[in-house]
Amino acid sequence: EAMDTEAKEALLEKDRKYVWHHITPHNENPMVVVSGEGSWITDADGNRYLDGMSGLWCVNVGHGRTEIAEAAAQQMKTLAYSTLIQSHVPAIELAAKLNEWLEGEYRIFFSNSGSDANEVAFKIARQYHHQRGKPSKHKFISRHRAYHGNSMGALGATGQAQRKLKYEPLGIGFTHVPPPYCYRCPFGQTKGSCETQCAQAYEDAIMWEGPESVAAIIVEPVITGGGMIVPPDDYLAKLRAICDKHDVLLIVDEVICGFGRSGERFGHHNYGVRPDIVTMAKGLTSAYSPLSATAVSAEMYDSFKTNGADSHFRHVNTFGGNPVSCAVALKNIEILERENLVSRSAYIGKELLSRIETLGEHPNVGEVRIFGSAIGIELVEDKLTKEPAHAATVAAIIAGCKQKGLLIGKNGDTVPGFMNILTLSPPLSTTDDEIAFIADTLLQVFEAGAGEDGR
């Protein structure tokens, strides 16, 4: 299976010369991935790795699904492209299917990426307020630590300073509130015995900014990329009530949490809340084809029909909602339904958690957090002081797992020293044997790592 040495070296030579990598732009020796099957990927040397992060939290149905490839090929042969200035069958069917999944009435605007979907949400929110004679409502409030995308507006909503420095000024009108981070509560409270001050912080921010200037708040059901921060149970419902009180829209970013990752079809279903706008990408197609969607409540949509051309949403996207991506999404959702992967997701998370329970006693494990099948392990140098684990401690565990054939992730905050949360979010099709492999590998690596160097 391994590529011969010369061929691989030639490939790497080209990579070094021509490819600008994401995150690690000057990676001189990147893993060259050549194929994927189920939960596994294979590199050019023939090494197999369990894809413990589903790529970037996106390959929900697992790799190598030939029926998705066939659906894409069939659609390409029938109609490879049409705009959504007109309409086409896969987009119509997909928009209807998404309404079923959302359990509410929404109009669906298609684009290509999670960042796109959030930009669309921001523009629609502002125009909606214009349409209702409240043009001063233009600001957005999000959380520190949150990630909402790489474009100027979505990066504006992102609450991690180091991702923004050097690119500012970004989209104007974004402010941030502290995250609902119980392990390091920004309000000095203790989990389970607080009054959800983190939700109240949203109302305070709305009041400080002036409710007449605030268009919307945007949240992920849990902050995934910023450290797997799971809020108190009543947090999202409180935000809904605050939004209603101040005529502020609630945008829920389901780019990662959607399509089963949370153990429900959408993350917000765990909290019984109805958003005004839902953005989605990644798991919508399980990353087999680029596609994203911004679902806008039917009530909001109605205001875009009232004034003829004056109320049109002036936003065109050439590739957004193209027939091939929509056909891929439909097949992907069919698989999620047929194989019950949403409930499988909840099962995977619970099963993994029970198998790694003893990790909680490890001196470097501050807290283990879970949301559906996604797990975050917050590493510390000292359980009492909660000093974040040093980069070397985090790197050693990731490297140890990789050496044993398990790829896991890390995240947190880009503030130096806070990239201390290990993340695990395997495909929702992960088998029982694979769950055991993931858990055993983690346990072994943590055990081996507890050496004299403080690990």
The residues binding ligand PMP (CB under 6 A) are: 56, 113-115, 118, 147-150, 220, 224-225, 253, 255-256, 281
User: Which residue number, 226 or 232, has a Cβ lying nearer to ligand PMP?
Assistant: 226
Query: In whole angstroms, how close is the CB of 156 to ligand PMP at the nearest point?
Result: 13
The dihedral through the CA atoms of 68, 70, 73, 76 has a sign that is: negative
Query: In whole angstroms, how close is the CB of 255 to ligand PMP at the nearest point?
Result: 4
Residue 51 and residue 39: Cα distance in Å, rounded?
Answer: 6
User: Which residue number, 201 or 257, has a Cβ lying nearer to ligand PMP?
Assistant: 257
The angle that helices 432-449 and 391-403 make with each other, rounded to 10 degrees, is: 130
Query: In whole angstroms, how close is the CB of 136 to ligand PMP at the nearest point?
Result: 27
Query: In whole angstroms, how close is the CB of 199 to ligand PMP at the nearest point?
Result: 19
For the CA atoms of the chain, what is the radius of gyration? 22
Beta strand 406-407 pairing with 48-51? parallel
User: Which residue number, 261 or 362, has a Cβ lying nearer to ligand PMP?
Assistant: 261
What single letter denotes the amino acid at residue 116? D
> In sequence order, which ranges of 223-381 are alpha helices (DSSP H)?
235-246, 298-302, 323-338, 341-355
Q: Scan for tokens 């975050």, then name that residue.
A: 376
Query: In whole angstroms, how close is the CB of 279 to ligand PMP at the nearest point?
Result: 7
What single letter denotes the amino acid at residue 292? S
Q: Scan for tokens 């409710």, then name that residue.
A: 211
Beta strand 214-219 pairing with 174-177? unpaired
SS3 label, residue 388: strand
List phi, psi (to 5°) of 143.
Answer: -105, 150
Query: In whole angstroms, how close is the CB of 61 to ligand PMP at the nearest point?
Result: 17
User: Which residue number, 225 or 409, has a Cβ lying nearer to ligand PMP?
Assistant: 225
Q: Scan for tokens 């081996």, then name that residue.
A: 448
Query: In whole angstroms, how close is the CB of 223 to ligand PMP at the nearest point?
Result: 8
User: Which residue number, 369 or 455, has a Cβ lying nearer to ligand PMP?
Assistant: 369
Q: Give pairs for 157-164: CB < 8 Å, separation 24+.
A: 157/118, 157/122, 157/218, 159/226, 160/226, 160/413, 160/414, 160/415, 161/414, 161/415, 162/413, 162/414, 162/415, 162/416, 163/414
Query: In whole angstroms, how close is the CB of 219 to ligand PMP at the nearest point?
Result: 10
Query: In whole angstroms, how close is the CB of 155 to ligand PMP at the nearest point?
Result: 10
User: Which residue number, 258 or 388, has a Cβ lying nearer to ligand PMP?
Assistant: 258
SS3 label, residue 408: coil
Respond yes or no on whether the N-terminal peptide bond of residue 169 is cis (omega within 30° of 0): yes
User: Which residue number, 154 or 435, has a Cβ lying nearer to ligand PMP?
Assistant: 154
Q: Which residues sit opposite 407 in a β-bridge?
A: 51
- Rounded to whole angstroms, the maximal C-alpha distance in the chain is 72
User: Which residue number, 114 or 388, has a Cβ lying nearer to ligand PMP?
Assistant: 114
User: Which residue number, 258 or 400, has a Cβ lying nearer to ligand PMP?
Assistant: 258
User: Which residue number, 114 or 232, has a Cβ lying nearer to ligand PMP?
Assistant: 114
Q: 342: left (phi > 0), else alpha (psi -120 to 50), else beta?
A: alpha
Residue 262 and residue 258: Cα distance in Å, rounded?
Answer: 7
The angle that helices 89-102 and 323-338 make with each other, rounded to 10 degrees, is: 40
User: Which residue number, 36 or 114, has a Cβ lying nearer to ligand PMP?
Assistant: 114
> In sequence order, which ranges of 234-322 are alpha helices (DSSP H)?
235-246, 298-302
Query: In whole angstroms, how close is the CB of 137 to ligand PMP at the nearest point?
Result: 23
Residue in the shown chain whose Cβ atom is closest to ligand PMP: 114
SS3 label, residue 407: strand
Query: In whole angstroms, how close is the CB of 322 to ligand PMP at the nearest point?
Result: 16
Of the candidates 120, 105, 204, the residue with the CA atom closest to the CA atom of residue 157: 120
